[in-house]
């Protein structure tokens, strides 16, 4: 899979030495937990054996490999478990146990990996729009990454289920990036927000908007707690699993299995609750303990009809 990028502007804000996150004199809380990362285990998990030079080729390769290997899911929340985004928890779940996660897990792990390799990584937080008008006000809380390479900035997001990019997207007004069968675009809104959109049959679909304010692991931990415990969070109300591919995407929201090819219409079907373990294994690569599968079957069987995921955070 290759990406074709059109850039119509290249001016972005860059971090300066006045930014505490860029100053090594500040404490460990300001930095990624890179020293505790088992990089070899992570690379084996995603099946990546390419170069590790901190350049655009490496970034694209790692981004594609992560998207292909690590699914988006909220199963631990539906099983009554807590979600940790410290590096120990992330490595245990996403690497050792070969599970998936949602944005705070994916992008915190990926940001740590990129920092360890030598990329300049800044954490950002976006406001999910998922098709709403750019002026709509949504709470901040979707973790994304900004990567600076040779003076150019890129947005990286391995944590948007169902519609997320498979490769870096240039942080430049009007920049488009073709990735497999999908096309993404970055724009500036009249209000000064940056926005990421994906092209759909009906036109551009805005995923989220954001500023370049730096966020830290402490911020992501608060956002993660809200997403994993708040009763109005979609991730506390239904089973969710998603996998983004270059030509077709799969999503599960409650009992609804959604297949979205890049070149044809989206298809949906309702699965029987007893099908759930097979669907999780065969489509999303999620292999759970028997007791976990039994509990998720019960959760899905008892869930109300018509559940719908309105955000892919």
- pLDDT tens track for 234-249: 999 999 999 999 999 9
* Catalytic status, residue 142: yes
Check 66, 104, 106, 142 and give the catalytic one: 142
Report residue 137 as tokens.
């006000």
If you count them, how many residues does the chain have? Answer: 313
The reported pLDDT for the residue numbered 162 is 87
Q: Cα Rg for the chain, rounded, in angstroms?
A: 19
User: The sheet that has 240-244: what strands, in order across it?
Assistant: 72-73, 240-244, 248-253, 256-261, 267-270
The reported pLDDT for the residue numbered 80 is 96
- pLDDT over 80 at 19, yes or no: no
Q: What are phi and psi of 79, to 5 degrees?
A: -90, 5
- pLDDT over 60 at 7, yes or no: no
Give the three-state DSSP class for 192: coil
Confidence grade of residue 21 (pLDDT, cut at 50, 70, 90):
low
Q: What is the pTM assigned to this prediction?
A: 0.91
List, as one string, the DSSP characters of 233-300: SGGGTS-EEEEE-SSEEEEEETTEEEEEETTS--EEEEPPGGGHHHHHHHTT-----HHHHHHHHHHH
Check 157, 187, 219, 313 and give the catalytic one: 157
* Catalytic status, residue 38: no
- pLDDT tens track for 71-85: 999 999 999 999 999
- pLDDT over 70 at 128, yes or no: yes
- pLDDT tens track for 222-278: 999 999 999 999 999 999 999 999 999 999 999 999 999 998 899 999 999 999 999
The reported pLDDT for the residue numbered 304 is 79
The reported pLDDT for the residue numbered 24 is 55
Residue range 282-297: average pLDDT?
98
The reported pLDDT for the residue numbered 1 is 39
Nearest Cα to 126, choosing from 155, 163, 88?
Answer: 155
The reported pLDDT for the residue numbered 9 is 36
* Catalytic status, residue 106: no
Mean pLDDT of the chain: 91
- pLDDT tens track for 31-89: 999 999 999 999 999 999 999 999 999 999 999 999 999 999 999 999 999 999 999 99
Superfamily grouping for domain 232-302: Arylamine N-acetyltransferase (3.30.2140.10)
Nearest Cα to 238, choosing from 308, 293, 177?
Answer: 308
Above pLDDT 90, what percent of the chain? 84
Residue range 124-133: average pLDDT?
95
Q: How many CB atoms lie within 10 A of CB 231?
A: 6
Confidence grade of residue 6 (pLDDT, cut at 50, 70, 90):
very low
Spatial distance between the Cα atoms of 121 and 238, rounded to a whole number of angstroms: 33
């Amino acid at each position: 899979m290759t990406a074709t990028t059109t850039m119509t502007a290249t001016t972005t804000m860059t971090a300066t030495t006045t930014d505490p996150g860029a100053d090594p004199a500040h404490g460990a809380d300001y930095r990624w937990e890179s020293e505790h990362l088992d990089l070899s285990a992570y690379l084996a998990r995603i099946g990546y054996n390419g170069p590790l030079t901190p350049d655009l080729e490496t970034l694209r390769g790692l981004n594609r490999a992560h998207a292909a290997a690590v699914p988006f899911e909220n199963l631990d929340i539906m099983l009554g478990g807590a979600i940790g985004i410290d590096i120990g928890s992330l490595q245990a779940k996403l690497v050792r146990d070969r599970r998936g996660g949602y944005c705070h897990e994916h992008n915190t792990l990926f940001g740590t990996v990129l920092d360890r390799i030598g990329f300049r990584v800044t954490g950002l937080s976006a406001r999910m729009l998922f098709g709403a008008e750019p002026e709509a006000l949504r709470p901040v809380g979707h973790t994304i990454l900004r990567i600076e390479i040779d003076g150019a900035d890129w947005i990286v997001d391995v944590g948007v289920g169902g519609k997320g990019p498979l490769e870096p997207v240039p942080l430049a007004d009007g920049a488009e990036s073709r990735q497999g069968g999908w096309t993404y675009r970055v724009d500036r809104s009249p209000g000064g927000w940056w926005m990421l959109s994906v092209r759909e049959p009906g036109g551009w679909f805005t995923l989220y908007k954001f500023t370049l304010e730096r966020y830290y692991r402490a911020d992501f931990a608060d956002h993660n707690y809200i997403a994993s415990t708040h009763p109005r969070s979609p991730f506390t109300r239904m089973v969710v699993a998603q996998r983004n591919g270059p030509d077709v995407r799969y999503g599960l929201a409650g009992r609804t299995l959604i297949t979205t090819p890049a070149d044809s219409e989206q298809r949906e079907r309702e699965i029987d609750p007893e099908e759930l373990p097979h669907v999780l294994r065969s489509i999303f690569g999620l292999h759970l303990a028997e007791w976990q599968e039994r509990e998720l079957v019960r959760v899905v069987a008892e869930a109300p009809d018509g559940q719908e995921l309105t955000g892919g955070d």
